[in-house]
Homo-oligomer: A and B are copies of this chain.
Amino acid sequence: MTTADALLDRYDEVRAYTERLAAPLSPEDQTVQSMPDVSPTKWHRAHVTWFFESFVLAENESSFRQFQDQYWFLFNSYYEAVGPRYSRPLRGVISRPGAHDVGRYRSNVDDRMRDLVSGIDEGTLGKLAPTIELGFHHEQQHQELLLMDIKHVLSLNPLQPVYAGAPLRSADPGRLGWKHYDGGLVEIGHDATTEGTFCFDNELPRHQQWLEPYRLADRLVTNGEWLDFMADGGYRRAELWLSDGWAKVQGEQWRAPFYWTEHDGVWLEHTLHGTFPVDPALPVCHVSHYEADAYATWAGKRLPTEAEWEHAASLEDRSQPANLADGETWHPRAAGPGTGGLRQLFGDCWEWTSSAYLPYPGFHPAAGAIGEYNGKFMSNQMVLRGGCALTPPGHARASYRNFFPPGARWPVTGLRLADGAAA
């Protein structure tokens, strides 16, 4: 297979998957922005298309013309270098282009991308390929966002609509075990020799860090354990919380994870399958960094640093099956029996770390608009590691750095405990 063919196969695969994820959603579903952090489904579908049009076609298509000039304004997310952009919190007031019009935009760009990639010489394609591949990974990120966002949209509807499928059957989460690490001088950051060639700029450069000896829990914290925390006054005891977290608990009246509601004394959880009684066996999810930190304090433990997590992950056998988006469970699963290794490491829930999202030593963002991808968000955010049940498979690797503000609750976020350990 030529490079061009391989690229186009991958292109078609990624693009088709987005449409498959959007397929269960009506034009009305695809229009709603339920809070400023959330984007409408049809906006996601258009924005990832705009990425290819503006970063690949614009510079390389002979006789380039925008599909619709206002789309560049509407579907630019945050690239200051590309020009003015439409206000993010107002994405939900734009009824047109409709879901169907966005489909036509996608088809048009798909045709032009295929023409471009098939038609250019190998040398030019070699230079272009990294940007196209970045476009794949960008679209996959938005596949996860699309699911996260529509989960929130549907959660606000008193009719309790279902995105897809049936609830998970319960299962034994297994006993929580601990795994010991000696620490010392370790290397973290993306390693192309073991993890494949692609990574985001924020995973580089690979570099050394000194780690004290530590332990990690071998599975995620469960809903059942979280219920114990709640029963023990977890949301009412200031001494367990970071100051900013306690302000949130009081200001937003947090009493439980984000999608939990109490009804006649029973805690229910909104999922993409519908709303059901909380299953104690499943990992707790949709908790903020503040909640994760408070839980760890309550448990007499702490969250891992991202270096601890990555170092540990690099030692694991990567062939274990992971609960990612391709499994179409749309929700974290119970851990199952202990394996000797770290269970639920990739998939299920993104795992909050205690590390702020900051540049690695020697980090430099890429030149041009693409350079805005990651670096400019390096403030007021915490790193998460691992992946979740809504993450496309290509986005789960040991060096992957996801990040959200410590108060964010709508991503599929859980926690794994850590501990300092005598060496």
Q: CB within 8 Å of B: which residues of A?
A: 26-34, 42, 68, 70, 73-74, 78, 80-81, 86, 90, 92-99, 153-154, 156-159, 161, 185, 207-210, 212, 238-239, 241-246, 289-290, 293, 354-356, 358-359, 361-362, 371-372, 376-380, 406, 420
Name the residue among A30, A238, A243 with the largest chain B CB count within 10 angstroms: A243
Are A29 and B95 neighbours in the complex by a CB distance under 8 Å?
Answer: yes
Taken together as a complex, chains A and B put the C-alpha atoms of A98 and B359 apart, in Å, by: 45
Residues in B whose Cβ lies below 8 Å from that of A356: 356, 358
Distance of A299 from chain B, by nearest CB (Å): 14
Residues in B whose Cβ lies below 8 Å from that of A78: 243
Are A28 and B420 neighbours in the complex by a CB distance under 8 Å?
Answer: no
Are A159 and B210 neighbours in the complex by a CB distance under 8 Å?
Answer: no
List, sorted by A's number, 10 A–B pairs whose CB atoms are closer than 8 Å: A26-B95, A28-B95, A32-B95, A34-B93, A73-B158, A74-B158, A80-B239, A208-B210, A212-B361, A239-B372
Residues in B whose Cβ lies below 8 Å from that of A209: 210
Taken together as a complex, chains A and B put the C-alpha atoms of A74 and B359 apart, in Å, by: 42
Taken together as a complex, chains A and B put the C-alpha atoms of A243 and B90 apart, in Å, by: 19
Are A31 and B31 neighbours in the complex by a CB distance under 8 Å?
Answer: yes
Are B376 and A86 neighbours in the complex by a CB distance under 8 Å?
Answer: no
Q: Other than the known A81-B238, A244-B379, what 14 A-B pairs have Cβ atoms closer than 8 Å?
A: A26-B95, A26-B96, A28-B31, A28-B99, A29-B95, A33-B93, A90-B156, A92-B93, A94-B156, A212-B362, A245-B379, A289-B379, A356-B358, A379-B406
Are B93 and A420 neighbours in the complex by a CB distance under 8 Å?
Answer: no
Residues in B whose Cβ lies below 8 Å from that of A159: 68, 70, 96-97
Are A376 and B243 neighbours in the complex by a CB distance under 8 Å?
Answer: yes
Taken together as a complex, chains A and B put the C-alpha atoms of A186 and B280 apart, in Å, by: 45
The chain B residue with its CB closest to the CB of A237 is: B80
Residues in B whose Cβ lies below 8 Å from that of A406: 379-380
Residues in B whose Cβ lies below 8 Å from that of A70: 158-159
Distance of A127 from chain B, by nearest CB (Å): 23
Distance of A173 from chain B, by nearest CB (Å): 29
Distance of A47 from chain B, by nearest CB (Å): 15
Are B212 and A96 neighbours in the complex by a CB distance under 8 Å?
Answer: no
